[in-house]
């Protein structure tokens, strides 16, 4: 029986979140947490989609409204219209990436589903094509997405993003350094946080302009340090970037406690990643520190991951 599986990586925003809205640059890396889709043929002509994380199943041909499945219906419809309706199948979604934590879970899942479905129908997936289709799905989830999440899931590696420009960087991350990601478990409305940050900008534009200029400089300097493999200095910039995120009002008690805990345990730098007011924080650490740090953070009651940036994007497995 025909069965195809594809996986795509999640992501971490290293520098620049929030500030990108005003045209500042950001640096984003793919990491080794994956969303996976397996598609296997059925003996009938039904097309079912099942999410292991949500423990939900939908019929992709039905008109029922299942919000979680809307983006996947979009992908299924686009592929059916352009390549012909597939034979009957069961598609199983399984993701290690925490949902609603700013790690690109929805995009990675959409990319893995797109890649697997194209492979299932016998089309050798072209990454540019996968990216274009998955971006349409991201519009369903995020309305006005930047395109970064689906691009990083498709191509992997490190990306430099500036409004309207997405540039892949040929930088090899050394095995000596890892990222520890801690999920606060606190859900937030990203759109609302972005809106309130912009309102704060408009109340104090002269001051905020300087903060945003500093954020741009930090990202550009961080890129220099990454290219020169100067990770001690990179850690300093992570800390300064976190200070700017505090200044614009997106840190809360839990994120502050976790940032300071990571630093006290020996992280070279630690900061919020993503919208803030919950979600995740990350620390840059030496690889030999990872095990002990994760045990300490888990003893505090939080989910923590020791991760490596990865160069490879979506692929068949």
CATH number of the domain enclosing 192: 3.30.70.890
Taken in order 263, 191, 147, 82, the sign of the CA dihedral is: positive
Do 157 and 60 sit in the same domain of this protein?
Answer: yes
Do 140 and 250 sit in the same domain of this protein?
Answer: no
In a domain, residue 87? The reply is yes
Name the pairing type of β-strands 177-183 and 158-162: unpaired
CATH number of the domain enclosing 30: 3.30.230.10
In a domain, residue 314? The reply is no
Number of domains comprising the chain: 2
Closest-CA residue to 263 (of 245, 277, 281, 247): 281
Do 115 and 190 sit in the same domain of this protein?
Answer: no
Catalytic residue among 44, 63, 94, 149: 149
**C-alpha to C-alpha distance for 163 and 26, rounded to whole angstroms:** 9
Give the pair of three-digit tokens for residue 240: 């300064």
**C-alpha to C-alpha distance for 112 and 130, rounded to whole angstroms:** 9
How confident is the model over 37-93, as pLDDT tens digits? 999 999 999 999 999 999 999 999 988 778 889 999 999 999 999 999 999 999 999
In a domain, residue 140? The reply is yes
In a domain, residue 312? The reply is no
Last residue of a domain, one of 114, 148, 171: 171
In a domain, residue 204? The reply is yes
Q: 156: helix, coil or strand? A: coil
Mean pLDDT of the residues in the chain: 94
Q: How far is CA 249 from CA 46, 117, 207, 311, in A?
A: 49, 42, 14, 33
Last residue of a domain, one of 124, 139, 171: 171
**C-alpha to C-alpha distance for 234 and 309, rounded to whole angstroms:** 15
Give the pair of three-digit tokens for residue 252: 């809360």
Do 164 and 207 sit in the same domain of this protein?
Answer: no
Do 107 and 181 sit in the same domain of this protein?
Answer: no
- Spatial contact of 160 and 316, defined as CB atoms under 8 Å apart: no
Do 154 and 268 sit in the same domain of this protein?
Answer: no
Percentage of the chain lying above the pLDDT 70 cut = 99
Q: Which domain range does residue 276 map to? A: 177-307
Last residue of a domain, one of 106, 137, 171: 171
**C-alpha to C-alpha distance for 36 and 109, rounded to whole angstroms:** 7
- In the numeric block, the tokens 């991760």 are attached to 307
Do 41 and 156 sit in the same domain of this protein?
Answer: yes
- Spatial contact of 281 and 182, defined as CB atoms under 8 Å apart: yes
149 is an active site residue? yes
Q: What's the pLDDT at 171?
A: 93
Do 156 and 26 sit in the same domain of this protein?
Answer: yes
Q: Does residue 16 have a pLDDT over 90?
A: yes
Q: Does residue 189 have a pLDDT over 90?
A: no
Q: What is the DSSP secondary structure assignment for residue 143, as one 8-state letter?
A: S
Percentage of the chain lying above the pLDDT 90 cut = 85
Name the pairing type of β-strands 315-316 and 3-15: antiparallel
For 177, the enclosing helix (H) or strand (E) is strand 177-183
Do 194 and 162 sit in the same domain of this protein?
Answer: no
pTM: 0.92
Do 136 and 217 sit in the same domain of this protein?
Answer: no
Q: How far is CA 204 from CA 192, 217, 308, in A?
A: 19, 20, 38
How confident is the model over 218-269, as pLDDT tens digits? 999 999 999 999 999 999 999 999 999 999 999 999 999 999 999 999 999 9
For residue 185, name the pLDDT band (cuts at 50, 70, 90): very high
In a domain, residue 316? The reply is no
Q: What's the pLDDT at 143?
A: 65
Do 148 and 245 sit in the same domain of this protein?
Answer: no
Query: At how many degrees (to 10) do helices 148-155 and 127-142 cross?
Result: 150
């Amino acid at each position: 029986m025909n069965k195809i599986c594809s996986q795509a990586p999640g992501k971490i925003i290293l520098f620049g979140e929030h500030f990108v809205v005003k045209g500042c640059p950001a640096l984003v890396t793919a990491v080794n947490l994956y969303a996976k889709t397996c598609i296997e043929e059925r003996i009938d002509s039904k097309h079912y989609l099942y999410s292991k994380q949500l423990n939900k199943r939908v019929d992709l041909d039905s008109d029922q409204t299942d919000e979680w499945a809307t983006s996947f219906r979009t992908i299924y419809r686009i592929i059916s219209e352009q390549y012909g309706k597939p034979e009957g199948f069961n598609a199983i979604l399984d993701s290690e990436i925490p949902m609603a934590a700013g790690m690109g879970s929805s995009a990675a899942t959409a990319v893995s589903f797109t890649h697997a479905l194209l492979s299932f129908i016998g089309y050798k997936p072209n990454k540019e094509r996968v990216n274009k289709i998955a971006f349409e799905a991201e519009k369903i989830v995020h309305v006005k997405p930047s395109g970064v999440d689906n691009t990083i899931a498709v191509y992997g590696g490190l990306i430099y993003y500036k409004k309207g420009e997405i540039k892949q960087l040929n930088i090899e991350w050394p095995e000596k350094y890892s990222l520890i990601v801690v999920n606060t478990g606190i859900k937030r409305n990203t759109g609302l946080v972005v809106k309130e940050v912009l309102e704060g900008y408009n109340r104090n534009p002269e001051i905020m302009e300087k903060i945003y200029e500093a954020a741009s400089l930090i990202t550009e300097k961080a890129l220099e340090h990454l290219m020169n493999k100067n990770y001690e200095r990179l850690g300093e910039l992570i800390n300064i970037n976190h200070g700017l995120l505090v200044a614009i009002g997106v840190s809360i008690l839990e994120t502050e406690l976790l940032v300071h805990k990571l630093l006290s345990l020996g992280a070279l730098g630690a900061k919020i990643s993503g919208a803030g007011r919950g979600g995740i924080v990350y620390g840059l650490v030496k690889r030999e520190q990872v095990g002990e740090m994760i045990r300490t953070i888990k003893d505090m009651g939080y989910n923590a991951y020791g991760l490596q940036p990865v160069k490879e994007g979506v692929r068949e497995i």
